[in-house]
Amino acid sequence: MSRELYACIHAAEFPAQALLRLQPQLRALPVAVLDGHAPLEWVCSMNARARRLGAALPMTRVEAEAIQDLRILHRSMESEAAARAVLLERMASFSPRIEDTSFGTACACVLDITGMERLFGPPDALAQRIRAALIAAGLRAAIAVSGNFHAARIMARASRGITVIADGEEARTLASLRVQALGLSDDYAETFALWGIRTLGELAALPETELVTRLGQEARVWRDMALGVLPHAFRPMEPEFELTEFCEFETPLEQVESLLFAGARMMDCLVERATRRAMALASIAIEMKLEGGQVHRGSLRPALASVDRKFLLKLLQLEIAAHPPPAAVTALILTAEAGQSSKVQLGLFAPQTPEPSRLDVTLARLKAIVGDGRIGSPVLEDTHRPGSFRIEIFTVGGKPDTQQADCPRLALRRMRPPAPVRVALHAMRPVSFRDREHIYDVTAAYGPWRTSGCWWSVEEWTAEEWDVLAVNDKGASVACLLVCDGLRKEWRLEAFYD
């Protein structure tokens, strides 16, 4: 069996990394992140450029504003949650067993990579691939690989870049680290300082019995950690897969172009995350936080699940153009629903059909012209009211019509709008009627068929239908449908039978 092997990923200054992940234009600038509420705001995170300018923890807002060229941002828990989900999804592609070891403002996790050499090569090659995956996601982290869980965790927290600890070299590798790397309380750290113990190597050299006698059983744990021999019961987590991207803007956006620039980066992240799981985006919910606390919502629902970035971005552009936000946007949230991407097998002699994406773009442009609720597929409602239907979103699919095509059919061709007519009655039956052009003599009338509904509301309706055969003043015979509106006492010519 393969020996135990663990890889720890430690992303320091995570609040700053989460904010800069979707704003690449700020990565080249010194950035400090403030936490807390005014006037007690303090710097909780920063990038390396800000540290070189003199920023430090926990500097107040006044002290941070005194540093020239320092860009100040506010901490966003939503951005950190989205960035953490991205980090865990990237790590899940290397190992299904992940334990969360986050501490303070850092996002950290340990991967159980035992036996993964057959898939990803030796530990140093695996660490390089993990680092490349994080950089592609816009994140940077220190990576440590060791056969001991705690040795990997301590080394990743105290170092930068990639560190691979050989088997049996844990104590020698950790010996130069400060005692504070164990996360001791201030009282114990002060005690070790009084004894002159400053490194883990010096702590590991202390006799175990005397150390436990003076400091208790916790000292045994610290000594074993310094030696790199402390065992650990791995507790894997099961992160929930949720396609959500959040971006909070430094200044409210009023221009649609600026909003689409930020949305394009978020859309790319959603597509990439879905593609890694061999899935596509079936729908995308859009939520914009506006100045004043209002929220503007929209949605994208293509006919077929897609991972085409240009196509989805075009739908986003058309949606924002058709329903622009009423105020400046302070934050943008995209939440996608994953679906299975479909493949269409074309026949050898069948003509090539248009791409489904062209249909979605065309429908979106028509919605911008005629409005929502007027584009889609007509669906009959569950009512006897004549002509009652609703428009639903167009979807590709459905069962084919299995009815025989050679069966004789009687077609009813409705007139929209119905033509008003004047009807002459005899014994409560129509004997003749006239429209704007002709006079018709009724030769046969079948009916009446009375229907009514919605008597409890203002949409009450009642109708009386007659199927009639008639001859006009030019000798032409017709078969038509006459309807009498019981509420308005009006007659209409609704349809012709072909």
In the prediction, which pLDDT does 2 show?
Answer: 55
**Residue 404 reports pLDDT greater than 50:** yes
Q: CATH no. for residue 293?
A: 3.30.1490.100
**Residue 154 reports pLDDT greater than 70:** yes
Residue found by looking up tokens 């971006």 in the block? 247
Q: CATH no. for residue 119?
A: 3.40.1170.60
Calculate mean pLDDT across residues 279-288: 91
Calculate mean pLDDT across residues 260-286: 89
**Residue 36 reports pLDDT greater than 80:** yes
C-alpha atoms less than 13 angstroms from C-alpha of 65 in its C-beta half-sphere: 5
In the prediction, which pLDDT does 44 show?
Answer: 93
Range with lowest mean pLDDT among 270-274, 307-311, 347-351: 347-351
For residue 136, being part of any structural domain is answered with: yes
In the prediction, which pLDDT does 372 show?
Answer: 72
The residue from 319, 339, 359 where one domain ends is 339
Rounded percentage of the chain residues whose pLDDT exceeds 70: 93
For residue 227, being part of any structural domain is answered with: no
In the prediction, which pLDDT does 347 show?
Answer: 66
Confidence of residue 405 (pLDDT cuts 50, 70, 90): low
Average pLDDT, the chain: 87
464 backbone φψ class: left, alpha, beta (φ>0; ψ -120 to 50): beta
For residue 91, being part of any structural domain is answered with: yes
The span from the CA of 125 to the CA of 273, in Å, is 23
> How close are the terminal C-alpha atoms of the chain, in Å?
80
Calculate mean pLDDT across residues 130-148: 93
Confidence of residue 402 (pLDDT cuts 50, 70, 90): low
The residue from 140, 167, 194 where one domain ends is 167
In the prediction, which pLDDT does 357 show?
Answer: 67
In the prediction, which pLDDT does 361 show?
Answer: 79
The span from the CA of 435 to the CA of 148, in Å, is 93
Please state the separation of Cα 493 from the chain's center in Å. 51
CB 492 within 8 A of CB 418: yes
The span from the CA of 85 to the CA of 336, in Å, is 14
For residue 204, being part of any structural domain is answered with: no
pLDDT digit string, tens, across residues 446-484: 989 999 988 888 888 899 999 999 998 888 899 999 999
Which tokens is 60 given?
């107040």
Measured over the CA atoms of residue 472, residue 474, residue 475 and residue 478, the dihedral's sign is negative
For residue 366, being part of any structural domain is answered with: no
Please state the separation of Cα 452 from the chain's center in Å. 46
Q: Are residues 295 and 442 in the same domain?
A: no
**Residue 371 reports pLDDT greater than 80:** no
The span from the CA of 478 to the CA of 496, in Å, is 8
For residue 285, being part of any structural domain is answered with: yes
In the prediction, which pLDDT does 1 show?
Answer: 45
HEC string of the chain?
CCCCCEEEEEECCHHHHHHHCCCHHHCCCCEEEEECCCCCCEEEEECHHHHHHCCCCCCEHHHHHCCCCCEEEECCHHHHHHHHHHHHHHHHCCCCCEEECCECCEEEEEEECCCCHHHHCCHHHHHHHHHHHHHHCCCCCEEEEECCHHHHHHHHHHCCCEEECCCCCHHHHHCCCEHHHHCCCHHHHHHHHHHCCCEHHHHHCCCHHHHHHHHCHHHHHHHHHHHCCCCCCCCCCCCCCCEEEEEEEEEEECCHHHHHHHHHHHHHHHHHHHHHCCCEEEEEEEEEEECCCCEEEEEECCCCCECCHHHHHHHHHHHHHHCCCCCCEEEEEEEEEEECCCCCCCCCCCCCCCCHHHHHHHHHHHHHHHCCCCCCEEEECCCCCCCCEEEECCCCCCCCCCCCCCCCCCCEEEEEEEEEEEEEEECCEEEEEECCCCEEEEEEEEEEEEEEECCCCCCCEEEEEEEEEEEECCCCEEEEEEEEECCCCEEEEEEEEC
**pTM for the full model?**
0.70
Confidence of residue 342 (pLDDT cuts 50, 70, 90): low
Q: How many domains does the structure of the chain reveal?
A: 3
CB 304 within 8 A of CB 264: no
Confidence of residue 388 (pLDDT cuts 50, 70, 90): confident
Q: Are residues 115 and 32 in the same domain?
A: yes
For residue 324, being part of any structural domain is answered with: yes
Amino acid present at 345: Q
pLDDT digit string, tens, across residues 484-498: 998 888 999 999 998
Rounded percentage of the chain residues whose pLDDT exceeds 90: 50
| Domain hosting residue 487, numbered range | 412-497
Calculate mean pLDDT across residues 401-425: 79
Q: Are residues 326 and 434 in the same domain?
A: no
**Residue 142 reports pLDDT greater than 90:** yes
In the prediction, which pLDDT does 419 show?
Answer: 92
For residue 237, being part of any structural domain is answered with: no
Q: Are residues 112 and 12 in the same domain?
A: yes
pLDDT digit string, tens, across residues 184-197: 888 888 999 999 99
Q: Of 138, 18, 9, whose CA–CA distance to 78 is shortest?
A: 18
Q: Are residues 10 and 159 in the same domain?
A: yes
In the prediction, which pLDDT does 106 show?
Answer: 92
Q: Are residues 34 and 149 in the same domain?
A: yes
Peptide bond into 39 cis (omega under 30): yes
The residue from 137, 167, 197 where one domain ends is 167
